[in-house]
Structure 1
Amino acid sequence: MRETDRELVGLAIPALGALLAEPAFLLADSAIIGHLGTPQLAGLGIASAVLLNAVFLCIFLAHGTTAAVARRAGAGDLRRAYTLGIDGIWLGVSIGLGLAALGIPLAPILVDLLGASATAAPHAVTYLRISLLGLPAMLVVLAATGALRGLKDTRTPLLATGLAAIANVPLNLVLVYPLGLGIAGSAIGTVIAQAAAAAWLCAVVVRGARRNAASLRPDRPGIKAAASANAPLLARTLLLRISLLTMTFVAAAQGDVALAGHQIAFTLWYLLTMPPEAFAIASQAMVGQALGAGESATARAAGRRALIWGLGSGLAMAALLLVLRPAYVPIFTTDAAVRDLVWSLAVVLAASQPIGALLYVLDGILIGAGDTRYLAWTMLVALVVFLPLAGAVLVTEAGVVALWWALTGWLLARQVAVALRFRSAAWLRPGPAA
């Protein structure tokens, strides 16, 4: 048990650091561009919404690659494990190039669809077009990170993304101000930093592939197989985005105060998912390798320990959320009405933390086991449960607090469905492939 705990924590802590490094890019860009003016900052907000949605939809590159690589590594077939990692990277390159080729000419249309003002739109288009050039690198980072996680290496992704996020700050400052490139300079700096992270991670994967005689060439059947295997995770992510966009739509219909409070609550919720998500990532690798080695009992035991750690992190986040309300609520807003709303929303967020924490780890366990079709179906069922709840909030104008209680119900529906799966033996399919 102690050995399992040490391995879980040893994998989870670097994974958490890497998760926290990702928002650092946007925070740095926001702080630097914010001093250029409000139109520039608004343009960044619009462009970032497009980019973040594109990257979020491709998160399957990390999760799916982790599970596939972990299975083969657990079975002792490192050659095939690295081959799957290389296939994932090539899939990321293919998707990134395709999205960039599509998005660059469509940038003005995408910006208009998101309602950019006449003053913000030119800045949004500039930032978006340059940033799309770096999209292949962003997706390569996801795939390479997934491959390394599958090999139980979470430290290398932390170093690569962490140092890239740090280097992004001085690089952007120089390009934006002394060189006078404005918002374009910020986009260029971020693309360079992300490309450096992608190159670093690829070099590590390629070195391992060569050491184990794995092919580095693009393999069309392998790439197609990776895309097919990841289709359920993509469907799951799309359904998740529908749920979250529904929340934003309902909150916006409640008025500006409700929308502002919702945005703050969503920011807090996103940040607080990261500690349990780190244990979910650790469980993906540990469960995948255990099943690859044919050790079903070890996989179940690792899952149980991950759930305990995940629940502990969720309870800790809930306590901090309540105790620190006097400190963080004033930071987000000076509007008294919004402050009062966030004060109440913090109670709902705290109640949802243990539920969500268990859910994220359960998801990680089943992803590591390759049980992604079940996860896609449960997400669909949860959406069917959530939409009437959100609709009732909209029709009755019950308010954004009720909306977040509806989200808690959405989390609970998913958790129950996935917990029942975990208790069964249906996900315990040992062997080198799920």
Structure 2
Amino acid sequence: MSGSPQGSPARLDGAVWRLAWPIMLSNVTVPLLGLVDTAVVGHLPAPRYLAAVTLGAALLSFLYSGFGFLRMGTTGLTAQAHGRQDAETVCALLGQSLIVALAIGMALIAFSDPLVRLGLYLLGGSADTAALAAQYAHIRLLSAPAVLANYAILGWFLGLGNARVTLAIMALTNTVNIALDATFVLGLGMTSNGVAWASAIANYVAFGLGLWLLRRELREMGGVHVPRRRLWRLSAYSDLFAVNRHLFVRTLCLLFAFAFFTARGADLGNTVLAANAVLMQYVMLTSYGLDGFAQAAESLVGRAAGRADWSLFGASVRAALRFSMVTAVLATLVFAVGGHELVGLLTDLPAVRAEAAAHLGWLIAMPALTVLSYLFDGVFIGATATRQMRDTLIVSLAVFLLVWWVSRGWGNQGLWLSFAVFSATRSLTLAGVYRRFRHTRWS
């Protein structure tokens, strides 16, 4: 295994960039695939197919996002073991993460019927659309073991400081998915079920690539032997479970916050819902850049923590912070100068554009409010301080709901105010805990 980068600012800046750019590029492919799915199904003769894909994809996104801890927890623990040069633990974490991922994936298939019925009941939709959405979701859930195993594989490679695997796997997934979309829907005349099968098959193809890359990496590591007891004894999973249970709760709280924001916007009418969706697209686009540097911090900080090299730990955080701040400033300038034009790119409806323009100030402020939350999420994942991530998110969610309750009479302005305060609280509480830990346990 290669060693950690030296602590000079220039070397660390280079290390951050080498880790971040493949992640950022792979993140950009996610909305691209969504656009292709929408374009393919949107040209079918009946709108119910597009509605079914939208509902089914929303349900699957929530389910799979809830298990994102398989990527994050694996990254932090692997990076620390890598920093200690503990090859046996690095390999054991890979095996353990894959076993957990495959077990959860099989459970999702086994319980797919009640999960889909409950999810679609909560999402709503006509009976005809719900039936098609259920078919779509059941097909895509067949690939749950592959999807979750890919989370573990990506997390493990990122823990080793290899972010290019993320780009390779995402590029293959989306390329196969797009090709099969065209084949099944445009070529074979399938509908929303064709899009679902395309996604399911693409995930298994990506899983195959991931296994091949793992085999190559393990061969380069010299075929480290992992005792079977570390794979089949439940107590050997204590570190993985301890880290992941906090991440699971934290992720559910975060998903709830976004779902609550969307639902309250819907209560204010279709125009407000559409305008908020347009603005939130750019909030998420900013997150793709900030998340790249946060995930770079996961790897670098984790390796420094594994070596108990707190000087390198702090230098790694500062390097990731520099890139994050530059990205946030650039995003703020782009939104301030071209915000109205950016809204116009996504909608030409006068009422929606006017509503979005009235709330453009919140979009301009959002990069500054969120930048530290993304960065310190990465730092805390690398340091496996996931309990603090959970606790600060719970506090932030409570503040969000309180501010919304107080300001609900202000309509959509109050909703955006509560979301802005939620974002700022996440940043400030994580920064506060980081500062305290830098003078205690990380010093």
| Same-fold call, TM cutoff 0.5 | yes
Asked if structure 2 preserves the Cα contact closer than 8 Å seen for 1:88 and 1:223, the reply is no
Taking the TM superposition and a 5 Å limit, the aligned residue runs for 1:120-199 are: 120-199=129-208
Q: Does 1:415 align with 2:427?
A: yes
Distance 1:256 1:172 in 2: 30
Q: Does 1:213 align with 2:227?
A: no
Distance 2:292 2:417 in 1: 25
Q: Aligned residue for 1:304?
A: 318
- What amino acid sits opposite 2:368 in the alignment? P
- What amino acid sits opposite 2:153 in the alignment? A
Taking the TM superposition and a 5 Å limit, the aligned residue runs for 1:81-120 are: 81-104=90-113, 106-120=115-129
Q: Aligned residue for 2:5?
A: none
Structure 2 unpaired stretches of 5+: 1-8
Which has the higher mean CA deviation after the structures are superposed, 102-111 or 75-84?
102-111
CA deviation vs aligned residue, 1:78-136 (integer Å, no higher than 9, x gap): 22112202211221111111112111455344323321212312221111110000121
CA deviation vs aligned residue, 1:173-211 (integer Å, no higher than 9, x gap): 111122222221111111111111122123222443453
Match of 1:44 among 39, 47, 53: 53
- Structure 1 residue 277: Cα displacement: 0.8
Q: Does 1:28 align with 2:39?
A: no
Q: Report how many aligned residue pairs link the two structures.
A: 429
Flag the 1:34–1:427 CA change in 2: closer, same or farther, 3 A. farther
- Structure 1 residue 334: Cα displacement: 2.6
Flag the 1:427–1:164 CA change in 2: closer, same or farther, 3 A. farther
Distance 1:165 1:243 in 2: 28
After TM superposition, the score normalised by the length of structure 1 is 0.94
Which has the higher mean CA deviation after the structures are superposed, 324-333 or 250-259?
324-333
Flag the 1:71–1:267 CA change in 2: closer, same or farther, 3 A. same
Which has the higher mean CA deviation after the structures are superposed, 71-80 or 318-327?
318-327
% identical aligned pairs: 28
After TM superposition, the score normalised by the length of structure 2 is 0.92
- What amino acid sits opposite 1:219 in the alignment? W
Q: Does 1:7 align with 2:4?
A: no
Structure 1 unpaired stretches of 5+: none
Q: 3-state DSSP class of the match of 1:76?
A: coil
- What amino acid sits opposite 1:17 in the alignment? L
- What amino acid sits opposite 2:232 in the alignment? D
Q: Aligned residue for 1:389?
A: 403
Taking the TM superposition and a 5 Å limit, the aligned residue runs for 1:360-379 are: 360-379=374-393
Flag the 1:214–1:200 CA change in 2: closer, same or farther, 3 A. farther
Flag the 1:106–1:295 CA change in 2: closer, same or farther, 3 A. closer
Distance 1:146 1:379 in 2: 22
- What amino acid sits opposite 1:420 in the alignment? G
- What amino acid sits opposite 1:374 in the alignment? Q
- What amino acid sits opposite 1:237 in the alignment? T
Distance 2:202 2:293 in 1: 27
Distance 2:249 2:438 in 1: 21
- Structure 1 residue 223: Cα displacement: 4.5
Flag the 1:246–1:109 CA change in 2: closer, same or farther, 3 A. closer
- What amino acid sits opposite 1:203 in the alignment? W
CA deviation vs aligned residue, 1:371-404 (integer Å, no higher than 9, x gap): 110111111111111111112233x1x1223311
